[in-house]
Amino acid sequence: MIFLVCATWVNSQSLVVVNEPGAKPVRPTLTAAETNLMQRSVLPKVRKILASDECTETDYDVVSTVKGAFTKAGAQQTLVYYQYCVTGNGLGSTGVAVLENGKVIASYIAEDGDEASGARSLPDIDQDGLNEVILEVSGGMHQGSGGTGAEMIEFTATGIKSLGWFTQDEFSENGPSIAYRVTAKPGKPPLFYRQKFTSRNEKKWNPVGKPLPFKLGKPLIKFRAVK
């Protein structure tokens, strides 16, 4: 599943929707110039780090592209979230690149991780002038069950900073699918709320209980700068 959803404001509650159950997938888009920049300036350096018998570039795929100001306030940048290789069921190496005006502004890889499933840009929920990013990963199917999770990140002068991890959805062959609506109240720091939803067909999602405060979990993705 590839989820690319524009974060929206819930005016009545002054909350930002971080994750929405049943969000429809949107295909990533890269301009010809951006595609050329990835091939010319990003992948050759990544290849030197990751290329091996287990990790082959034949699995390279741009999973999501999002717009925002990621490394500099007011900038118009494109963030590219891609799968470089797949090494097992829900396992592989992923990468993140920030492009602006024909240049690579930032490039990072996650050498040992899950399979990329999507990305989203958030409207500066921690009020530092930059857009945060949601990176979604899938753990694959194991014994008839699986799910997706998300890491919330932002870019700093010293690299990628992870704000934390949360589960997006869980599914199994026997039970209803479970998904979570996650919202955030902007601030320093932002406050997060979560509400559980269930579905038998993944078309209609039914709320279970009310939104409750919760804290993001410990970061799970380890990033390495590509230089």
**pLDDT on residue 5:** 39
Q: Is residue 2, in this structure, part of any structural domain at all?
A: no
**pLDDT on residue 87:** 86
Provide the residue range defining the domain that includes 64: 9-225
Q: Is residue 63, in this structure, part of any structural domain at all?
A: yes
Nearest to 94 by CA among 32, 138, 130: 138
Output 172-178 pairs: Cβ under 8 A, ≥24 positions apart: 172/144, 172/145, 172/146, 173/144, 173/145, 174/144, 176/200, 177/202
Q: Is residue 3, in this structure, part of any structural domain at all?
A: no
The one-digit pLDDT tens for each residue of the chain (227 residues) are 333 334 443 443 589 999 999 887 778 999 999 999 999 999 999 999 998 888 888 889 999 999 999 999 999 999 999 999 998 877 899 999 999 999 999 999 997 777 899 999 999 999 999 999 999 998 655 455 678 899 999 999 999 999 999 999 988 777 788 999 999 999 999 999 999 999 988 778 999 999 999 999 999 999 999 99
Domain count, the chain: 1
Burial of 190 per CB tally in 10 Å (0-12, 13-18, 19+): buried
Q: Is residue 4, in this structure, part of any structural domain at all?
A: no
Rounded CA-CA distance 166/35 in Å is 31
Q: Is residue 217, in this structure, part of any structural domain at all?
A: yes
Q: Is residue 40, in this structure, part of any structural domain at all?
A: yes
SS3 124: coil
Rounded CA-CA distance 68/46 in Å is 23
